[in-house]
Amino acid sequence: MSKQITISLDAMGGDAGPDMVIPGAAIALRRRPELRFLLHGDEARLTALLEPHPQLAAAARIVHSDVVVRMDDKPSQALRAGRWKSSMWKAIESVKTGEATVCVSAGNTGALMAMAKFCLRTMAGIERPAIAAIWPTLTGETIVLDVGATIGADAQQLVDFSVMGAAMARAVLHVDRPTVGLLNVGVEEVKGNEEVKMAGRLLKEADIPELSYAGFVEGDDIGRGKVHVVVTEGFAGNIALKTAEGTARQFAQYLREGMNRSWLNKIGFAIARSAFDRLKEKMDPRKVNGGVFLGLNGVIIKSHGGADPEGFASAIALAYDMAAADLTNRIVEGLAHYHRVGVVSAVTGDTRGDQ
């Protein structure tokens, strides 16, 4: 029997707010009837939107909030104005208090990260959190982090990301010892900036039992599924993610234009319809919507701000999987083991772990 899990939703977040969140939650509930929700936002508006969804209304509790964090608010501004009052803050806080196991928001990414760090705090030994995305590949799925939280990560942070990403891979991809690669401009050890090269040396020295370090990987290795976890800093990771999403949309547009160009093309499409449907299903970005904030004392899922109800339902499904897999404790255990073993860099002489 599936485990009953309560998910906290920032119902006012995203481009469409509750008009997208409520139908998305209803879709998720139909697929997983054991879900329960805390809906944070304008009570009158949410109550009205729940009327066409009696099943969701029965499985949800509304927590009223007057303040909404806007998509263009600066993180510092949102933290000052929205702390303790906004739907975003209250959604995160419910994870801290234990009312919910995981939080999902389609709101302002910077504000969500700032509030999550302030409310939940980072795990022991983690300086900065990361955002991990699940990437469809030729061999299945790959976890990529960081895709936007930490710009310009140093070597030690890249190692931390590797440990956290491996813990997520064990929980989501069900791999006992995930392979981890550092994203670089080439696979040769002499290539890349000093932080990436140093991170590679640290991972070799550590010989962490929970992961298998596979060396450097290049951008085209992500889609090929060469490793289970690809680690990079947030600037490069975010560009890679947005490029992949844009390429998928570009390819889909080319395909639509090609199919409509002539009657012969339309007939060919009709004959190969099942193959095209499988391709569409595989490349649909809504199916992999949701970035996971790693390194915090609680799980936060960031949905795309422009997601439709189907996409938001996918983010909720990801939240369920993270909660059911007890992701936070898995990461804590992985980091604790890594810190106990300790790592000494041959380059810097820095020591990590118990003395």
Higher pLDDT among residues 281 and 352, named by residue: 281
Can you tell me the distance from the alpha carbon of 238 to that of 216, in angstroms, rounded to the nearest whole number?
18
- Give residue-wise pLDDT tens across range 89-148: 999 999 999 999 999 999 999 999 999 999 999 998 888 899 999 888 888 889 999 898
- pLDDT at residue 241, rounded to an integer: 81
- Give residue-wise pLDDT tens across range 316-334: 999 999 999 888 888 888 7
- Give residue-wise pLDDT tens across range 70-89: 888 888 888 887 667 899 99
Contact (CB, 8 A) for 143 and 173: yes
pTM for this model (two decimals) = 0.84
The domains located in the chain, with CATH, are 1-121+296-324 (3.40.718.10), 125-291+326-355 (3.40.718.10)
Tell me the average pLDDT of the chain: 86
- pLDDT at residue 353, rounded to an integer: 46
Decide: helix, strand or coil at residue 136: strand
- pLDDT at residue 349, rounded to an integer: 45
In the predicted model, is pLDDT for residue 185 greater than 60?
yes
Residues 6+ apart with CB under 8 A from 215: 181, 182, 187, 189, 200
- pLDDT at residue 248, rounded to an integer: 74
In the predicted model, is pLDDT for residue 232 greater than 50?
yes
Measured from the Cβ of residue 284, the count of other Cβ atoms closer than 10 Å reads 16
Q: Element (H or E) spanning 103, and its range?
A: strand 102-105
- pLDDT at residue 273, rounded to an integer: 63
- pLDDT at residue 340, rounded to an integer: 61
- pLDDT at residue 217, rounded to an integer: 95
